Structure 1
Amino acid sequence: MKLFPAIDIIEGCAVRLVKGDYAKKTVYSTQPVAVAKSFAEAGATYLHLVDLEGAKDGGTPNLEVIREIVNESGLLVEVGGGIRSEETVEKYLEAGVFRVILGTAAVNHPQFLIKMVEKHGDKIAVGVDIKDGKVAVKGWTELSEESCFDFCEKLEKIGVKTIICTDISKDGLLAGTNLALYKEMSEKFRVDIVASGGVTTLEDVDQLQSMGLYGAILGKALYTGNIDLKQAINLTKEEIL
């Protein structure tokens, strides 16, 4: 199973939110490039980056920081947050990221998603952020009418190869992840599923791996020391693409 240590960026800083609440923000570092390098030194291959300003408002306010992380960390970087136009997709791919994550745009503009998947293939992933069984959009500030499983079925038919699934109710609480949800998803859909939200302990990592999941995102638990990244990577015996 692949591990994706995470950096969420606001105003060029590495932060974490609780349940996606922008009012509950903790700044962990003003040097996200250094954080990314520390993940690489611990043995990481991948990095999950989210521009939280972009997620809420659209645009690419932290593009230069992200470009620097790509260039200096040596990690395979996937990026999400406010990617709602072909121009933004191209900007990130030109900056060297290996995968772009669509969220709100995938829900609200399926034709755009289809076009991007046809053009870029597995360089396009979709973030499915779940709250009360529905898919959340616009940086988790709004709920769509789309149910999680119906939406994932559509994504599979479109040809999306990777779904990054976050249970918002678990995010940032260090209270464990939604193992039942990921088990059900992995049984229902033939796509690569990345678990996100509430991965708190090495036991969580081990249980997700035992399901045969493609990947898991490690966020707050890394910053608080609940999970040692090197130990987690050794546990998963991560392999490069």
Structure 2
Amino acid sequence: MILYPAIDLKDGQCVRLQQGEMERATVFSDDPGDMAARFRRLGFKRLHVVDLNGAFAGESRNADAVDAILASTDVPVQLGGGIRTMEAIGRWLERGIARVILGTAAAKDPDLVREACRAFPGRIVVGIDARDGMVAVAGWADETNMRARDLAMAFEDAGVAAIVHTDIGRDGMLTGLNLPETIEIANAVTTPVIASGGFSGMDDIARLAAPEAGKLDGAIIGRALYDGRLDPEAALAALPQAA
């Protein structure tokens, strides 16, 4: 079970949104590189980074901040937000990103995901962001008529490295992960699934350690870590991290 601290980037700063709304952003740091180094010192072995401006614009907008993160830590970084072409995917992988997350592209251009998986095996993650079970795209601004579980199953044979399932309604709200829905997706596919949205603290660590969550590959931690609601040492002790 891998715990991924989240670094969400808006205008070059580390922020947390509530339910994906840009106007409900809380700034936690103006130094993304320092934040990445801090998470590494705490013992986390992966990072989850999202370019929020890029997600809305459809192209990367926080490249300097991402480069600062890469320069400040040696842990693998997965990056999403506005990456919607093969050129952009290749460019980020060449710059040192370990895995690229495709969200809007997965819903709107599945052929791109399949092409990317062939070109970059093991390095493409599908991000499935859902509100009430329905997939949302373009920085969560547009809702589709596709169910999250169906989108996950559509890539079962594509060679996707992992799926990140985010419950938009819980994101940044500290109300607890939507494990029932995420576990349902994990049970429907063979692709590793990562839970995201609403992580609240040690209660969620206990839920992730329970047998019913054993199929999950990991979880993303956001506001609970920044607010000090989660004890990193206790969390990592309860869920030992893969190398």
Q: In 1, distance between residues paired with 2:161 and 2:33?
A: 28
| Residue in 2 that maps onto 1:218 | 221
SS, match of residue 117 in structure 2: helix
Q: Is 1:52 matched up with 2:35?
A: no
Range moving further from structure 2, 225-234 or 92-101: 225-234
Give the equivalent residue in structure 1 for 2:241.
Answer: 238
**Matching of residue 123 in structure 1 with residue 107 in structure 2:** no
Deviation (angstroms), 1:121: 1.5
One-letter amino acid of the counterpart of residue 23, structure 1 = E
Is 1:80 the counterpart of 2:83 in the alignment? no
Q: Offset at 1:75?
A: 1.7
Could you say what secondary structure the match of 1:158 adopts?
Answer: coil
Could you tell me the percent identity over the aligned residues? 38
Is the Cα–Cα contact under 8 Å of residues 209 and 238 in structure 2 kept in the other structure? Answer: no
Corresponding position of 2:112: 112
Q: What CA distance in whole angstroms lies between the structure 2 residues aligned with 1:111 and 1:216?
A: 27
For each residue in 1:19-70, what CA deviation from the matched residue of structure 2 results, as whole angstroms up to 9, or x when unmatched? 0011111111111111111100100110000000000002222112212211
Q: How far apart in 2 are the matches of 1:102 and 1:77?
A: 14
Partners in 2 of 1:142 and 1:209 — Cα distance? Answer: 34
Within a 5 Å distance, the mapping from 1:15-94 to structure 2 comes to: 15-94=15-94
What SS is found at the alignment partner of 1:169?
Answer: coil
| Aligned residue identity for 2:162 | T
TM-score, normalised with respect to structure 2: 0.96
Unpaired stretches in structure 1, ≥5 consecutive residues: none
Is structure 2 residue 7 aligned with structure 1 residue 7?
Answer: yes
Paired with 1:183 and 1:59, the residues of 2 have a C-alpha distance of: 31
Q: By how many angstroms is 1:160 displaced? A: 1.6
| C-alpha displacement of 1:230 | 2.4
Deviation at 1:158, TM superposition (A): 2.2
Letter in 2 for 1:104: T
| CA displacement 1:179-233 (0-9 Å, x = unmatched) | 2112212222111010000111112122123311111000010011111222211
**Amino acid corresponding to residue 169 of structure 2 in structure 1:** S
CA–CA distance in 2 between the matches of 1:34 and 1:145? 40
Contact 1:39 1:229 in 2 (8 A): no
Which structure carries more helix by proportion? Answer: 1
Correspondence 1:156-235 to 2 at 5 A:
156-210=156-210, 211-212=213-214, 213-235=216-238
CA contact (8 A) 1:173 1:198 kept: yes
CA distance in 1, matches of 2:66, 2:59: 13
Structure 2 residue runs without a partner (length 5+): none
Give the number of aligned pairs. Answer: 240
Q: Equivalent residue of 2:84, what SS?
A: coil
Q: Which runs of 4+ in 1 moved over 6 A?
A: none
- State the distance in 2 between where 1:78 and 1:194 align: 12
Q: Is the 8 A contact 1:205 1:216 kept in 2?
A: no
Partner amino acid for 2:125? Answer: A
Alignment root-mean-square deviation, CA: 1.1
Maintained 8 Å contact 2:135/2:145: yes
